[in-house]
Amino acid sequence: MPVPAEARRIVQPAWDLSQIVAELAGLRALSQRRRYRGRPLPELPSREAVTAIVEALVAVLYPRHFGPAALSEDAIDLFIADTLDHALRRLRREVLRELRFNNLDDAARLSELEQQALAIVGEFASDLPRIRALLDSDIRAAFDGDPAAKSLDEVVFCYPGIAAIIRHRIAHRLYRLNVTMLARIVAELAHAHTGIDIHPGATIGESFFIDHGTGVVIGETARIGRRVRLYQAVTLGAKRFETDDQGRIVKGGDRHPIIEDDVVIYAGATVLGRITIGRGSSIGGGVWLTRSVPADSIITQAKARTGDTFDDGAGI
């Protein structure tokens, strides 16, 4: 059957690819000149590689849950050894990329940076048993703290707070080893996966439990003690940012809350600034808190007073 003339006609696109590509190239070149001041373009870490590394590390930490299906007891150690060796070799390449990115003015230090990358990954690897021990305490806290939890295995498989804290403890160790870009990538992978946003710089003690979790935000310099529980939409944030004489934000500085041991913070609470929530305190849902409170405090929203009226939408 002959092909109709309409089907044979080549439809011209409504866009000019060469013009778009040329304009993007110009913008890219301008941005690179500003950032790198004529130096060779650095090789950036690979987000794809970091994603694969993190998933491998999660499987190494909990092989029965995130390793191959039907992994036999006899094969677990072999699986861990093979998976971990491959992941750490890939991690070393990504660490080296970040180190080279941070040392653009001294490209001749390649051999030294290679040894530094090896040392960083070695130290990270030696900390994996400690990370697993901390995570076991987090999993137990989730199981003990949630009446809906039927088993520890369910908690590991299903709880977004556990998925987030597994990745946070990996990211935090990388952050402490000064590969902060890789740490931030790991944190953002967890954020995208769970809706829980924990900066890798945040220090979190053992037996930490985020219940439900969606919308939780924990800032870089937050310090959280042991046996702390947070519910969904809790923010541990900064109250204000310091600026310099030109109005630019000053980087660094302790600007997020300190949460002492055995504190519970309920859904929707916002805790801002370098304040301290004393041990054993309870912060009610929806509270906006910008001052320190002593140990064993119970903070709730203000109640409407007798005689208050809210007519025609007033008070909403």
pLDDT tens track for 127-171: 999 999 999 999 999 999 999 999 999 999 999 999 999 999 999
Residue 306, pLDDT > 70, answer: no
**Whole-angstrom Cα distance, residue 164 to residue 271?**
20
Least confident segment among 36-40, 122-126, 257-261: 36-40
Structural domains in the chain, CATH included, are: 43-195 (1.10.3130.10), 202-303 (2.160.10.10)
Among all chains, which residue has been given the structure tokens 């305490």?
Answer: 137
Tens-digit pLDDT profile for residues 231-250: 999 999 999 888 888 888 88
pLDDT, mean over the chain: 92
Give me the mean pLDDT over the 68-92 stretch. 94
Give me the mean pLDDT over the 206-210 stretch. 98
- Give 247 or 9, the one with higher predicted confidence: 247
- C-alpha separations of 122 from 77, 83, 89, 228 in Å: 19, 15, 10, 31
* Cβ–Cβ < 8 Å for 54, 186: yes
Q: Report the percent of the chain where pLDDT is more than 70.
A: 92
pLDDT of residue 70: 83
Give me the mean pLDDT over the 90-104 stretch. 94
**Whole-angstrom Cα distance, residue 267 to residue 277?**
16
- Give 267 or 34, the one with higher predicted confidence: 267
pLDDT of residue 316: 38
Per-residue burial over 163-174, b if 16 or more Cβ lie within 10 Å, else e, is bbbbbbbbbbbb
Residue 1 pLDDT level (bands cut at 50, 70, 90): low
3-state class (DSSP) for residue 216: coil
Among all chains, which residue has been given the structure tokens 């088993």?
Answer: 151
Tens-digit pLDDT profile for residues 61-76: 999 999 998 888 889 9
Model pTM above 0.75 = yes
